[in-house]
Amino acid sequence: EAAVTQSPRNKVTVTGGNVTLSCRQTNSHNYMYWYRQDTGHGLRLIHYSYGAGNLQIGDVPDGYKATRTTQEDFFLLLELASPSQTSLYFCASSVGNTLYFGEGSRLIVV
């Protein structure tokens, strides 16, 4: 089965800090997604990509950058972290109708 691995699993940073969340998938899936999950909001799409070098804007992109360096790797970048970005972040990959999620990265911005 395809694996999606996120790192770090937990991160605490200060306001204004620089954070990179990493996601790697092992099956060369075309699509990769970054979501944030907050209580009462379900999962909200930040950025997504359909291949190396491609980036598509999601529904809540403000304050986030992303880069798809290879077919396997998708990074989420917070260059000036704010407390409002405290959240649980999920990465997912998909091919066809099958979607695989990572275990999540919990970020706290103090």
Partner 1 sequence: GQQVQQSPASLVLQEGENAELQCNFSSTATRLQWFYQRPGGSLVSLLYNPSGTKHTGRLTSTTVTKERRSSLHISSSQTTDSGTYFCAIYNTNTGKLTFGDGTVLTVKP
Of 49-88, binders to partner 1 (CB under 8 A) are: 50, 56, 58-59
Number of other residues whose CB lies within 10 A of the CB of residue 1: 6
Residues 107, 87: Cα–Cα separation, whole Å: 6
19 counts as binding partner 1 under rule CB under 8 A: no
Q: Between 12 and 50, whose beta carbon lies closer to partner 1?
A: 50
> What 3-state class would DSSP assign to 45?
strand
Binding stretches for partner 1 (CB under 8 A):
31, 33, 35, 40-45, 48, 50, 56, 58-59, 90, 92, 94, 97-99, 101-104
